Amino acid sequence: IYFFFCSILEEHQNDLDEAMNCKKEIVELKEQLRVMHERYSLVSLQLAESEAEKGELQMRMRREFR
């Protein structure tokens, strides 16, 4: 009976270990997603600024070459 309980406890410990590993992986993935979101936001802002500059230059060129 002792060995039976030990094997059950060992199985549950393995399940707990696996759950903890999954939780760690989830935390790491959330952090990666946060960093990626920050980079995406920065690149989006830079693109918007670049497009605004492009539009301003196009307007200046049109005015100067009429």
* Amino acid at residue number 10: E
pLDDT digits (tens, 9 = 90+) for 24-57: 999 999 999 999 999 999 999 999 999 999 999 9
d(CA 43, CA 59): 24
Mean pLDDT to the nearest integer, 19-24: 95
Q: What are phi and psi of 55, to 5 degrees?
A: -60, -40
Local confidence band at 6 (pLDDT 50, 70, 90 cut-offs): confident
16 vs 38, higher pLDDT: 38
Would you give the distance in Å from CA 53 to the centre of its chain? 29
What residue has token string 């960093």?
35
Question: 3-state class of 65 per DSSP?
Answer: coil
3 vs 60, higher pLDDT: 60
